[in-house]
Amino acid sequence: MNKFFLWVVGMWSCLSWIPGELWKTLKENMVDLKVNDIPWHPEDYIAYAERWNGRAAMIGIIVFLQLELLHKMSVLEFLGVL
């Protein structure tokens, strides 16, 4: 075996636990948002959609703040407005 193959196997064995732990953490902390259990009543569906949209908006804000603060790139430049 060459060094690159051994490096790939080593990196896989070191980092392969991360997706499983992330999935387990998401399942524990987001009990109210189950992808396979979508409510059928319109009022429940609206509340369910609002929770998903709120979490997506929080992630979007974090990404844009990182672009502005860490990479010194304006959001308007990123979107092509400026």
8 has a pLDDT exceeding 80? yes
Concatenated DSSP letters for the chain? --HHHHHHHHHHHHHTHHHHHHHHHHHHH-TT--TT----SHHHHHHHHHHHHHHHHHHHHHHHHHHHHTS---HHHHHT--
User: Averaged over 52-69, what is the pLDDT?
Assistant: 84
Domain count for the chain, please give it. Answer: 2
The distance from CA 44 to its chain's CA centroid, rounded to whole angstroms, is 24
Whether 38 and 54 share a structural domain: yes
Same domain, 27 and 49: no
Structural domain range at position 80 = 33-82
**pLDDT of the residue at 58:** 87
Residue 28 pLDDT more than 70? yes
Whether 17 and 39 map to the same domain: the answer is: no
